[in-house]
Structure 1
Amino acid sequence: MPGRALRVPALVVAVALLLSGCAAAPSGDVSAPEVTQPPAVAAEATPTAPSEAATPTPAAPAPDIQPPYGAGGVEVMPEGIEPTAVSIPAIDVEGTLIDLGIAADGKMEVPVDFDEIGWFTGGGKPGGRGPTVIAAHVDGLAGPAAFFRLDELTQGDVVSVTDAEGGVTSYEVTEVVTVEKADFPTARVFGAVPGDELRLITCGGYFDRDVGHYDKNVVVFATAV
């Protein structure tokens, strides 16, 4: 099943995400958005050496790749703190988080253990800007897995995420969607947002034994409160 989101301010989604996998077999894997580093900020041009009769023209400063959040001098939000645990009382989920990165093939890593819950290290962090993306399997060979009941969440349910410094950020569910893998809302899940938001991802729909994975994904959107 799934794994995490890009720290969109720092990473750019290169292709549409096709979250496959979530298989009930160990071979199932989850594709995640392939990302590329944003273009490097161009160095300031060096003024041409002045001649005896000419005065050098100062070079224009290179534009920032990422302008401060909010116009009019609004303070940039902090980076956030790495999450270590998640609690979802409405569906009896509570557990520590493992790190999920980008695999060598450009896809998002997924938990090896079906009971593990993972946080995408390329995404946001609680207390900062951008979506914190958490993912887990829906089931496995032994039965229901960590996010088996994820699709039961409803608007207003609360998800609490504990960070590495012991702080707890509470998020309120705003939307729960089930989508075809081919129509996965990459930009909404991994795209940049101006505030502290959370995404929870797992598989759903019909398990196709011929291909070894589910045909849909369940995505929960939540906002810090």
Structure 2
Amino acid sequence: MQDRIAVIDFETTGMSPAQNARPTEIGVAIIEDGRIVERYQSLMNAGAWIPPFIEQLTGISNAMVRSAPPVAKVMGEVADFVGSTPLLAHNAAFDAKFWDAELGLLRRRRSQEFACSLLLARRLLPEAPSHKLGNLNRWASLPDTGKAHRALADAEMAANLTLLLASRLRERYGVAEVSHAYLCGLQKLSAAKVRALLKA
């Protein structure tokens, strides 16, 4: 994959900004020329309480975010770091909601589309027993990037998965140019249409 893509992952206090959930950590892995070339990671303090079950899942405690930089500072930094680079996340519907909500609080707006490695994996790796990120990572024998449910580890996992999907498109299906725009188009098709397209 030649395209420069920013693969992002949020850890949060809940499922949706619509339910007053806020981010606690963000990780970004930028891929270009078939590898991860840059990274960004930070905890952030949005003044939101982390429920015990989320703390258990992520290992991110209320004490950790209390001493973290303010959410506005982190989101401003990460938005500048990403710039107009195309975006991708695993289950992008989740991360895009937080990205848009937090940028909105800074009176900023993204201009680029999100690709989704979850949707793409369902279409291109139908034989995988599970399409959860950690399970896919183990099933495909991708590099161990660290503790799951930490933002940078998950962003790197999704980045490695995206590179695997791109190589499968090239090697198995002969797709010469695997761009971010191509991935965004592919994820909008049904699994049956993707199979038909790639056999053509």
TM-score, normalising length: structure 2: 0.27
Higher helix share: 2
Larger radius of gyration: 1
Whose strand fraction is larger, Structure 1's or Structure 2's? 1
